[in-house]
Amino acid sequence: MADVIRIGVAGALGRMGQVLESLTAERADMALAARIDRPGASTASALTKPQDALGLCDVIIDFSTAAASTELATLAAAAGGPAIVIGATGFTAEQETEIAAAAAKIAIVKSGNFSLGVNMLVLLVEEAARCLGPEAWDVEILEAHHRRKVDAPSGTALLLGDAAARGRGEVPETARLPERSGLPGARPQGGIGYASLRGGGIVGEHSVIFAAEDEIITLSHSARDRSLFARGALAAAVWVVSAPPGLYGMRDVLGL
């Protein structure tokens, strides 16, 4: 691994992009090598086209959009690098397949959340779900974010739901209950429900509720500052630079 890691930031004009740039500048082991954003963004922002950024960076961190992240990963795979850290959410099944195909050629860390606390919560939820069976315990996930977030449920909520499904030996996609509206009827046994709130500047709130007839267990996490996600992404960047091709998550980065 190089002494100084050349970092590219995709979604550089967004809120997370700006935090990443600021934290990168504070580190002696990193240098900002490229700033990428959507076509047509301000020409005064010293942006680099994605295809031109590939050769300038050891790793590109992307918190932009699912479509842009998928395109960037495909471009990097075709060029043989660099490694990619993906923090965008809201991917379609087709985009997930494209990301996986790119990861056969380059190293990619993709996570719905780069917080150490959230990734510890994922482990706790999986273990709780393993112990609390669906015949007595319903699993509901509540998440809240700022008004600008465009996807729902959040990537972190899906991460937590997938953990609960794994704990119960279920397939995550089929365990997700449909949205409730109107008169959906009584809650079926098993399955995992989701509820999403949007408002103001909420950074990120997630609760996993295990509800039985006579008791409730709630496991939760509150994010107070989005810089914690940026720090986690930079830790992933340091780790992925030396990793072989493959699709990784934060559990790999943290050694959990």
Q: Which domains does the chain have, with CATH numbers?
A: 5-110+226-254 (3.40.50.720), 116-223 (3.30.360.10)
Q: Residue 245's pLDDT band (boundaries 50, 70, 90)? A: very high
pLDDT of res. 15: 87
pLDDT of res. 40: 64
Note whether 140 and 211 are within 8 A (CB). Answer: yes
pLDDT at 177 over 80: yes
pLDDT of res. 9: 97
Mean pLDDT of 185-209: 95
pLDDT of res. 31: 97
pLDDT at 34 over 80: yes
Mean pLDDT of 158-167: 95
Mean pLDDT of 13-31: 94
Encode the chain in three state secondary structure.
Answer: CCCCEEEEEECCCCHHHHHHHHHHHCCCCEEEEEEECCCCCCHHHCCCCHHHHHHHCCEEEECCCHHHHHHHHHHHHHHCCCEEEECCCCCCHHHHHHHHHHCCCCEEEECCCCCHHHHHHHHHHHHHHHHCCCCCCEEEEEEEECCCCCCCCCHHHHHHHHHHHHHCCCCHHHHECCCCCCCCCCCCCCCEEEEEEECCCCCEEEEEEEECCCCEEEEEEEECCCHHHHHHHHHHHHHHCCCCCEEECHHHHHCC
Q: Residue 91's pLDDT band (boundaries 50, 70, 90)? A: very high
Note whether 72 and 60 are within 8 A (CB). Answer: yes
pLDDT of res. 155: 87
pLDDT of res. 112: 83
pLDDT at 61 over 60: yes
Q: C-alpha distances in angstroms, 176 versus 61, 91, 142, 194, 238? A: 29, 16, 13, 8, 34
Question: Is the pTM of the predicted complex or chain greater than 0.85?
Answer: no
pLDDT of res. 139: 98
pLDDT tens string 113-124: 898 899 999 999
Mean pLDDT of 51-73: 95
- The chain-wide mean pLDDT, for the chain, equals 93
pLDDT at 4 over 60: yes
Which residues participate in catalysis according to the annotation?
A: 145, 149
Mean pLDDT of 220-248: 94
